[in-house]
Amino acid sequence: MVEETNNNFIFDIIKEDLSKNGILEGKKIHTRFPPEPNGHLHIGHAKAIYINFMAAKIFSGVCNLRMDDTNPGKEDESFAQGIKRDVKWLGFDWENRFYRASDYFPQMYKFACDLINKDLCYVCELTPEEVKQNRGDLSNPAISPYRDREKQESIELFKRMKNGEFETGKMTLRAKIDLASGNFNMRDPVIYRIINDGNKTNNWYIFPMYDFAHPIEDALENITHSLCSLEFEDHRPLYNWVIENIDTSSKPRQIEFARLSLSFTIMSKRKLSKLVEEKVVSGWDDPRMPTISGLKKRGYTPLSIRSFCEKIGVSKVNSTVDYMFLEHCLREDLNINAKRVMAVLNPIKLIITNYPENTEEEFEIENNPNRPEDGVRKIIFSREIYVESDDFMIKPIKKYFRLFPGNEVRLKSTYIVKCTGYKITDNKICEIYAEYDRKSRGGKSPDGRKVKSTIHWVNVKNSINAVVKLYENLFLSKNPESNEKGFLKDLNPNSLKILNNCKVENCLSNAEKGETFQFMRLGYFTADSVDKDKLIFNRSVTLKDSYKI
């Protein structure tokens, strides 16, 4: 998994801008990732982060991290902290360029006053309802009776708005552009509103709207390419209007790309919050959540997420990526890097009847066949072991070549054993019996006979207990939002399954929190708790399995 970058239409534009006679010839590019601190980052944001930081990296520029905090009340410092943590975890570095839109409020206020003086803005006293009624429609223009207010009067009122003399919603500052525009964003958009609820941020009572604030933030930070998602395409004329009419030499350029949709999950912050509030999940970092913190807890690695972002590409097509593709990227990383261990999720005891009691043998097992340099470790074998209950059938179905009476399997790294019988108590198989072939030590078959199946096991004596959490998609449909009764009616009842009686190899007593292992033949599992008396693993992703029962 080499980290290199494919081309895309945005990088083509940047290349063009940077080329000879391009608008940025001889300059550096400068991008930014500007989340609103009103929720936690998810995999969709990872795409935006990746695009912005990679554009900077590839073209030897830099990328800022900026909190777009222009709407107090929705926002919270804890979200800002979480965002910084997640971006850093993903492996991106904004160095010392962390900014907040609110730090620019004085400058924005000044720009707004300039615009009033240029007769490009006016204070409007329409209430929100009146604005709505007067917005016009597809064939009729909007109306504002305050459009021709004297500049001086607007300046006065705007100052009084700033001083907190009016209550929330009483008046707004509007840009004088075109009440008849086919683009509703240009029908004299509100650029400042009053939020005077006693809950003030930095002593401000007026707050700039996104459309006014964003271009100014970009200009003040000397952003060259302002990369955002498709729904802002209609806002670009307004973005450019602001840049052209304020006093700046910066010429940031907005380019839009399609945001990410992933099958079987949702990306809307509002809906993700709902899952948290309704306690459908344990929190923003529930391993089933598509949030960065959730993916981390699930066992996703920063490399796998970056690789995913790289591989899905960048375009303007609204598309939905298969969830399987994300899983593929994780497996690709873990296949190379995860240590292999043995763990039995649904244990059943296997007794090797011809193996001496009170004896044990030591065997070596490789830590990672894909990385011989990771060496081997010792495992202890003895008469009683646990095997997976799925690996035994009294009457084998077609193409089943694991344990069943009369059949031979290899116990990974040790011996070939032949199943000789089983015991049933209370209608349940409680023990399986087998005999081992002592000539097969190490799992070899000296006579060359083929043993189709090799199964994993742990020793009864020294295996340790663990809890394993198995996850499936949170939703049943590819597109949970399409459920007519709402996404909350599309929940998968099996999205979490907790196994409390798992037996794992004793080397896992040294596992570190967050460390990921391959449980052989089962999948990749990440240590979520490593407390002495409570070892918990989250299944990150299964192994691919061509055997369908």
Residues designated catalytic = 36, 259, 269
Q: Is 210 a residue that touches RNA (CB under 7 A)?
A: yes
Encoding tokens for residue 285? 């970092």
Closest separation between CB of residue 231 and RNA, Å? 4
Closest separation between CB of residue 485 and RNA, Å? 18
The residue with tokens 């089943």 is 400
Cβ atoms 525, 517 nearer than 8 A: yes
CB closer to RNA, 85 vs 444: 444
CA 222/CA 214 separation, integer angstroms: 12
Q: Is 372 a residue that touches RNA (CB under 7 A)?
A: no
* Residues contacting 253, CB < 8 A, separation 6+: 13, 17, 224, 225, 226
* Residues contacting 485, CB < 8 A, separation 6+: none
Closest separation between CB of residue 262 and RNA, Å? 9
Closest separation between CB of residue 79 and RNA, Å? 12
Q: Is 147 a residue that touches RNA (CB under 7 A)?
A: no
Closest separation between CB of residue 335 and RNA, Å? 5
254 three-state secondary structure? strand
CA 498/CA 529 separation, integer angstroms: 14
Q: Is 407 a residue that touches RNA (CB under 7 A)?
A: no
CA 81/CA 341 separation, integer angstroms: 36
The residue with tokens 């399995």 is 545
CB closer to RNA, 84 vs 311: 311
Q: Is 15 a residue that touches RNA (CB under 7 A)?
A: no
CB closer to RNA, 9 vs 423: 9
Among 194, 281, 417, 466, contact with RNA (rule: CB under 7 A): 194
Closest separation between CB of residue 521 and RNA, Å? 4
Cβ atoms 538, 469 nearer than 8 A: yes
CB closer to RNA, 354 vs 368: 368
CB closer to RNA, 94 vs 212: 212
Q: Is 493 a residue that touches RNA (CB under 7 A)?
A: no
CB closer to RNA, 286 vs 334: 334
Q: 28-46 burial, b for 16+ CB within 10 Å, e for fewer? A: ebbbbbbbbbbbbbbbbbb
Restricted to residues 334-363, the positions that interact with RNA (CB under 7 A) are 335, 340
Restricted to residues 253-282, the positions that interact with RNA (CB under 7 A) are 258
CB closer to RNA, 282 vs 542: 542
Q: Is 448 a residue that touches RNA (CB under 7 A)?
A: no
Q: Is 171 a residue that touches RNA (CB under 7 A)?
A: yes
Restricted to residues 42-81, the positions that interact with RNA (CB under 7 A) are 68, 70-71, 74
**Helical H segments across 91-139, by residue range:** 105-117, 128-133
Restricted to residues 127-146, the positions that interact with RNA (CB under 7 A) are 127-128, 131-132, 135, 137-139
Q: Is 2 a residue that touches RNA (CB under 7 A)?
A: no
Closest separation between CB of residue 380 and RNA, Å? 16
Q: Which residues are bridge partners to 409 per DSSP?
A: 417
Stretch that binds RNA, among 51-59, 306-314, 417-425, 533-541 (CB under 7 A): 306-314
* Residues contacting 534, CB < 8 A, separation 6+: 467
Restricted to residues 496-525, the positions that interact with RNA (CB under 7 A) are 518, 520-521
CA 302/CA 9 separation, integer angstroms: 25
CA 63/CA 118 separation, integer angstroms: 33
Among 235, 296, 297, 469, contact with RNA (rule: CB under 7 A): 235
Any idea what DSSP says for residue 204? Answer: B
Restricted to residues 94-123, the positions that interact with RNA (CB under 7 A) are none
Q: Which residues are bridge partners to 363 per DSSP?
A: 379
CA 178/CA 457 separation, integer angstroms: 74
CB closer to RNA, 453 vs 506: 453
Cβ atoms 208, 108 nearer than 8 A: yes
CB atoms within 10 A of CB 176: 19
Closest separation between CB of residue 409 and RNA, Å? 9
Stretch that binds RNA, among 39-47, 291-299, 324-332, 527-535 (CB under 7 A): 324-332
Q: Is 545 a residue that touches RNA (CB under 7 A)?
A: yes
Q: Is 444 a residue that touches RNA (CB under 7 A)?
A: yes
CA 268/CA 231 separation, integer angstroms: 14
Q: Is 20 a residue that touches RNA (CB under 7 A)?
A: no
Nearest one of 259, 231, 233 to 47, comparing CA atoms: 259
Among 369, 493, 512, 531, contact with RNA (rule: CB under 7 A): 369
CA 15/CA 323 separation, integer angstroms: 32
Closest separation between CB of residue 136 and RNA, Å? 7
CA 339/CA 518 separation, integer angstroms: 6
CA 527/CA 540 separation, integer angstroms: 10
Q: Is 316 a residue that touches RNA (CB under 7 A)?
A: yes
Among 282, 382, 389, 453, contact with RNA (rule: CB under 7 A): 453
Among 25, 200, 401, 461, contact with RNA (rule: CB under 7 A): 401
CB closer to RNA, 360 vs 534: 360
Stretch that binds RNA, among 150-158, 242-250, 273-281, 320-328 (CB under 7 A): 320-328
Q: Is 193 a residue that touches RNA (CB under 7 A)?
A: yes
Restricted to residues 414-443, the positions that interact with RNA (CB under 7 A) are 442-443
CB atoms within 10 A of CB 451: 18
Q: How far is CA 332 from CA 91, 154, 327, 373, 516, in A?
A: 18, 61, 9, 19, 13
CB atoms within 10 A of CB 375: 10
How many residues bind RNA (CB under 7 A)? The answer is: 90
Closest separation between CB of residue 441 and RNA, Å? 8
